Chains A and B, each alone.
Chain A
Amino acid sequence: MAGKIIADQLQSTPVGTIDTKHLVRSIPKAHAKSNVLAVGSTASEDSFLVSSITDEGPGDADINFTNAFATNGYAAIGTASGVFVGNSFGTHFGGTTTSKDDIRMYRSGENAYKDAPFAYIAIGELA
């Protein structure tokens, strides 16, 4: 059933009151589970708020957002799916803007950027 609750604040007697704007800002806004960095696979298994993903090279991609974030201070995190110990997933590399996040996947054992399927979320205030 469709419906809408409109409230500026939530109150919990033992804990206190919080403005709902903080809750809205802190929920994940964008997500993607993607095989773009693996040829022959579909583009994304699931996603939201993503218009495209640009494969920039091994372990290197841009995630482009349909709705930009208000500032470049949004938080993002990701994981390389189902692969090696020692893989790290970085966000907010040099090409990052409010409308795209420049991500990298790095494997320390080989000291190289590596391809892998990945999952990603971004949190922050939207423009």
Chain B
Amino acid sequence: MKTPEFKGTHLFERLIWAKENLEPVQSDYRVVFENDVDSPASILVADPNWMAAAKQGGILPPVWVYWLLAADEAHPDFKKHTRGYLLHETKPIGPLTEEQAIEYLILKDVPREVWENYDVGNKPKLVICNKSQLPKTREWRNAWNISDEVVSGNANEKNNEQSLDDVFGEELNRSKKYA
């Protein structure tokens, strides 16, 4: 199904169109990240309706729009968003692969301090895995963290894959310019 050509259409309305016309996509990818040494690892799970919209294209705004709004909100005098129009009036991005969608989601929903320096330090603070690689029960959920074994595997793969900076470098720089 072709996405209507949304021009200045409120994001809420674009998402209603997606909800009514697209089949949800259950992703098997999970994003595991550590943001606090005293807390267990966090597990980010993509929403199936959001994933369908990301793969369809023409619905979601570019990720830098979210960064600008986050920068506004971080200001000590913030009371109310005044640049929400960026969500609605910025030209929507095209279709993403499931892998690109997960990377977009990392840049949107994982704390910036995690993904910006995810591979600095003794071990990465963030890894993408399959849900089958997570523990099968939540009995010891408070003790979950990124294992050294998983980290080693990712380090080897990293040499052959594009980094987050390679994929979203332009948007990252734009965010820094406006933030």
- Could you tell me the distance between the alpha carbons of A73 and B12 in the complex, rounded to whole angstroms? 19
Across-interface contacts of A66 in B (CB, < 8 A)? 11, 15, 50, 53, 60
A35 to nearest B CB, angstroms? Answer: 10
Inter-subunit contact B141/A99 (CB<8 Å): no
| A48 contacts B by Cβ under 8 Å | yes
Residue of B nearest to A59 (CB): B141
A12-20, A36-44, A81-89, A103-111: which lies at the interface: A36-44
Inter-subunit contact B79/A52 (CB<8 Å): no
B41-49, B119-127, B152-160, B167-175: which lies at the interface: B41-49
Across-interface contacts of B134 in A (CB, < 8 A)? 39
A-B CB pair tally, cutoff 8 Å: 114
Inter-subunit contact A54/B42 (CB<8 Å): yes
| B84 contacts A by Cβ under 8 Å | yes
Interface centre among B40, B50, B135 (most CB of A within 10 A): B50
Q: Which of A51-86 contact B (CB under 8 A)?
A: 51-58, 62, 64, 66-71
Inter-subunit contact B12/A126 (CB<8 Å): yes
Interface size on B, residues (CB 8 A): 40
Interface residues of A (CB under 8 A from B): 29, 32, 36-40, 42-44, 47-58, 62, 64, 66-71, 97-100, 115, 126-127
Provide 24 A-B residue pairs closer than 8 Å at the C-beta atoms, listed in order of the A residue.
Answer: A37-B138, A39-B136, A43-B45, A43-B47, A44-B24, A44-B47, A44-B49, A48-B15, A49-B15, A51-B46, A51-B47, A51-B108, A52-B45, A53-B45, A54-B42, A55-B43, A55-B44, A56-B40, A64-B108, A66-B50, A67-B11, A67-B12, A70-B84, A126-B12
